[in-house]
Structures are given as C-alpha cells and as structure tokens.
C-alpha cells in the first residue's frame, strides 16, 4: 500500500510542476510574489486628483498659474530635504570611485570585478569595473604605492593650492561624476523608428534604426541602435560653498561658507549650493547605488529616483488638504502659542523672529509634518523640481501627471534653462511658502536657498 501512495504523491507533484502541458494559460511559473518595501527615509504619497493652482489671489500678478484639476500617480517622497550628510555620502562615493578606478588600472587583479574565468570585467568604454569589496590600505598595498597613487591623482590639494595645513582639503575640481541615462522620449519620437530589413531572407530579418538623437552638448547623431538613446554626461559634485557670499552683496556670510557643508554641526541641515544638474545626477547615482545592492542580493530592482514633477510636488505639499494655502492647512503662519510654523523671512529686515537666521535643521518647526508625513514643504530651503519653467505650462500640459521638460544645451539662451522651484526658503516672504506659488531658477545656478528632495514612482497601485 505504501509504494502506491508514494507513486500517487510523486505523480501529483509532477502534475503540479508541469502545468505548461495542460494547455491552460497559467503565466510563467516560479515568479515570487513581490511587495515593494518602504524605501529608507521616504513616505508613500497615494494617487489622486486635486485642484492645482492658486488657493488665494495672485498678489504679485505673475499670471503664471491657473486653477485646474489634475491627477497624479502614486509615488514615494523623501520626508525631508536631502541633508548635508546624505549628500556627503555621494561626494565621498565619487572620491572613492576615482581612487579605486586608478587602482584597478594599476592592479586589475586586486581591485576589479572578475568573470567566471577570473578575468577582469570591463564596461562598454573598456574601463575596468571596480570591486568595492576589495580593501584599501591608504598607506600601502601589495606594491606599496597606494598613497603615491592617491597623491598623483590630486584628490587633495597640495602645494600653493593648499590653504590649510591642519587637515587635508578635497580638491573639488577632481570630483567628477560620469553618468549615463536613457532618453526614452527621444526613443519614442516619431522620427526615431526601427524597421526590419528582409534582404537576407524573410526568416532572418535585420532590425535597422532611422532618425537622429540630440546629445546633451547639442550635437546630433544618427540612430544606429538602442545604444543611441543612452546619453553620457559628467558633473562636478561638490556643492558651491561660495554661494553664501555671492548671493548677498554687502552681507557678511563668510562663516557659513567656511563651515556649512564641512562641520558636523550642520550634518542634518539641508544641502544647498547645488545646481539642478547636480541634483539630477545625485538621483541617478542614488538609483544605481541601490539597484546594484539589490542585484547582488538577488532582489528585484526598483523604479528610478528622480526630482519630482511640479504637479507631484504641489500634490504632496497639500497633503490632501485641497484648498489650503499652506502645507499645514489654514491661512495662518503661527501656531496656537504664537510661534511661527516655518522658517522664512517674517518681517522686513528681520530674519530671526521665526527662530532661525539661516536654514534650520530639517524637521525642526512646529508646522511639521503635513498630512502625508512630509517635513519642510514650506520654507527652510526652496526645492528643485524636474519641470522646466514656462508661464503658460498649465494651459498646454496634460491633466494626467502634467509634465513639461526641456533638456537645455550649453548654448541655449538662458530662458530655456529655467527650472521650476517650489516651497520658498529661509530668506523669502510668506507668499513663496504657499503651496501653489511658482518660481524658477536657472539649471546651471547654485543658490544658498535652494535644495532638493527625491521621489520614486510606486510599483503597482497605491
């Protein structure tokens, strides 16, 4: 009896594992159920519709916004602005990657990843792919030359360029981040299409592309394949610490230039002095940094980190309170105790009545968080969005995830380089704190009052 039961049991298992043979549509087997984990430091923003645009009269008569109902999809958003210490992780990663790439060139066996045959991996540009797990002794490696390699790279200032002999100073001109991204909009353009060439026979067609792509520097190239839509660019990653001086004429802000990004006292303050391009590059790095870790642990990759589109930012700032003027609801700037709710310029010539002279540490004020759990959506520092600024964008943009962007080229006129900033800052009057107020800055400009936070589109439905 037992042998019969065993045979039946095995047969049932085999039948359950071979449902492809039943002729039924059952989908690909072996796919594990997946629920996207909560990203570190982010909060979920549910999909929904809202009335985008002015919640009060246009006192400045800018006429750059109109009230309209739009819908946005679900996404994750950083609960605070990116802080100095979070951005410093990016800076240090770039520093370390430059050192490791040079070490991989000098000693690929020790500092590069290997394939199954223990040969160093190379990327499409022929550069070694660095092995981040390989330990580095800054004084000595197996050849005894690590310290000399670092010195030759010029990662730290030396000679006449070194202003301090107490500690090492990073040479910010060497901290260059080279990155790639895929331009899906050019790939989907009606002028860029592929066709099948059947000259070799109908059973073996060859895919050919036609059209042109525009590179970040403005040059155009003929489409030759999928790789044509991969763009390469670079950016200096270190914040411009001199903005504290250049932004304010006849104002003494040298202490902020010296210490705001360097001192641990400011680690939890929002990073500033970041251009739109730097913020965008940070998002690309953050995506690759996480996805690389997920792949190594055999987990599914996630959506890209990016700057929010303007509609996403306003929707998140409102926190479900559709007709409120400020993220905390209502029209007042003080709480029941008479204290200011956000960090801004409350009175002419008076920056301190709200408790802060400059930016404050994130999540510090009593008006936080809003109904979605977001901090500092009004005041502290204004925030970059991915949206290009156009005064009439509300008229022509779609009512589903409204989006307008333009990848400005270096020789484009300044008007084409304007990007939307939202939320107002520590040096702005109350009007700029309103959730519907639009403003802009130029993408290649860094300011002491503009920072950013990231978003990530939700996987599935929320």
Question: Is 256 domain-assigned?
Answer: no
Residues 392 and 365 in one domain: yes
Residues 168 and 101 in one domain: yes
Question: Is 262 domain-assigned?
Answer: no
Question: Is 56 domain-assigned?
Answer: yes
Which residues, other chains included, contact 168 with Cβ-Cβ below 8 Å and sequence gap of 6+?
156, 157
Question: Is 5 domain-assigned?
Answer: no
Question: Is 227 domain-assigned?
Answer: yes
Residues 211 and 272 in one domain: no
Beta bridge mates, 441 = 419
CA angle 442-446-451, nearest 5°?
100
Token pair of 105 as six digits: 């060139």
What digits encode the pLDDT tens for the residues 160-182? 777 777 778 888 999 999 998 88
Q: Within 10 Å of residue 61's Cβ, how many Cβ atoms?
A: 7
Residues 292 and 191 in one domain: no
Residues 279 and 417 in one domain: yes
Residues 46 and 111 in one domain: no
Question: Is 189 domain-assigned?
Answer: yes
Containing domain of residue 273, as a range? Answer: 39-83+267-462
Q: Which of 182, 212, 234 is the last residue of a domain?
A: 234
Q: Please say whether the beta carbons of 211 and 226 come within 8 A.
A: no
- Cα dihedral sign for 180, 301, 309, 380? negative
Question: Is 27 domain-assigned?
Answer: no
Q: Within 10 Å of residue 394's Cβ, how many Cβ atoms?
A: 20
Helix, strand, or coil (residue 139): coil
Q: Please say whether the beta carbons of 284 and 276 come within 8 A.
A: no
Q: How confident is the model at residue 148 (pLDDT cuts 50, 70, 90)?
A: confident
Q: How confident is the model at residue 58 (pLDDT cuts 50, 70, 90)?
A: low
- What is this structure's pTM? 0.89
Residues 76 and 120 in one domain: no
Question: Is 248 domain-assigned?
Answer: no
Helix, strand, or coil (residue 305): strand
Q: Which of 71-85, 216-230, 446-460 bottoms out in mean pLDDT, i.e. has the lowest?
A: 216-230
Q: Which of 209, 234, 259 is the last residue of a domain?
A: 234
List, as one string, the DSSP characters of 387-424. Answer: EEP-TTHHHHS-SBS--------TTS-GGGGEEEEES-
Residue 458 belongs to domain with CATH number:
3.90.1580.10
Please give the tally of structural domains in the chain: 2
Residues 62 and 123 in one domain: no
Q: How confident is the model at residue 239 (pLDDT cuts 50, 70, 90)?
A: very high
Residues 67 and 187 in one domain: no
Q: Within 10 Å of residue 50's Cβ, how many Cβ atoms?
A: 18
Residues 417 and 284 in one domain: yes
Stretch 321-345: mean pLDDT: 88
State the residue for tokens 């609801």: 329
Q: Which of 219, 234, 249 is the last residue of a domain?
A: 234
- Computed over every residue of the chain, the mean pLDDT equals 85
List, as one string, the DSSP characters of 202-234. Answer: TTS-EEEEESEEE-TTS-EEE--SGGGGEEEEE
What digits encode the pLDDT tens for the residues 201-223? 667 777 677 788 888 777 888 88
How far out from the chain centre does Cα 14 lie?
48
Residues 106 and 56 in one domain: no
Residues 386 and 283 in one domain: yes
């Amino acid at each position: 009896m037992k042998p019969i039961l065993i045979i039946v049991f095995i047969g049932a298992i085999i039948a359950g594992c071979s449902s492809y043979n039943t002729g039924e549509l059952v989908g690909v087997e072996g796919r594990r159920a997946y629920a996207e984990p909560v990203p570190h430091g982010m909060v979920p923003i549910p999909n929904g519709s809202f009335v985008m645009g002015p919640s009060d009269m246009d006192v400045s008569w800018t006429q750059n916004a109109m009230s309209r109902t739009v819908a946005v999809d679900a996404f994750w958003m950083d609960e605070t602005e990116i802080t100095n210490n979070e951005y410093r992780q990016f800076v240090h990663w770039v520093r370390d990657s430059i050192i490791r790439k040079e070490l991989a060139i000098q000693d690929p066996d020790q500092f590069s990843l290997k394939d199954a045959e223990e040969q160093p991996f190379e990327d499409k540009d022929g550069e070694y792919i660095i092995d981040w797990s390989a330990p580095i002794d800054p004084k000595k490696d197996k050849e005894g030359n690590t310290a000399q390699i670092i010195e030759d790279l010029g990662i730290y200032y030396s000679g006449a360029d070194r202003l301090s002999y107490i500690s090492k100073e990073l040479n910010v001109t060497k901290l260059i981040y080279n990155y790639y991204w895929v331009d899906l909009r050019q790939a989907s353009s009606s002028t860029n299409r592929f066709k099948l060439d059947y000259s070799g026979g109908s059973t073996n067609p060859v895919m050919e592309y036609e059209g042109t792509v525009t590179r970040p520097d403005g040059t155009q190239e003929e489409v030759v394949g999928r790789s044509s839509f991969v763009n390469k660019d670079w950016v200096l990653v270190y914040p411009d610490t001199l903005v504290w001086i250049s932004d304010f004429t006849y104002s003494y802000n040298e202490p902020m230039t010296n210490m705001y990004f360097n001192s641990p006292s400011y680690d939890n303050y929002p990073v500033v002095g970041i251009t739109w391009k730097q913020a965008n590059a940070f998002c690309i790095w953050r995506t690759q940094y996480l996805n690389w870790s997920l792949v190594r642990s055999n987990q599914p990759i996630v959506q890209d980190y990016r700057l929010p589109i303007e509609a996403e930012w306003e929707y998140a700032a409102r926190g479900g309170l559709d007709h409120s003027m400020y993220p905390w609801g209502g029209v007042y700037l003080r709480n029941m105790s008479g204290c200011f709710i956000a960090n801004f310029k409350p009175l002419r010539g008076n920056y301190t009545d709200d408790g802060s002279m400059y930016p404050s540490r994130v999540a510090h004020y009593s008006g936080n968080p809003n109904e979605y759990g977001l901090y500092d959506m009004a005041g502290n520092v204004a925030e970059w969005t991915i949206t290009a600024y156009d005064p009439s964008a509300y008229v022509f943009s779609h009512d589903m995830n409204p989006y307008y962007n333009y990848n400005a080229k270096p020789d484009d006129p300044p008007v084409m380089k304007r990007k939307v900033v939202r939320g107002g800052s520590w040096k702005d009057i109350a009007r700029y704190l309103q959730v519907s107020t639009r403003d802009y800055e130029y993408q290649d400009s860094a300011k002491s009052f503009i920072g950013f936070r990231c978003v990530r589109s939700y996987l599935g439905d929320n």
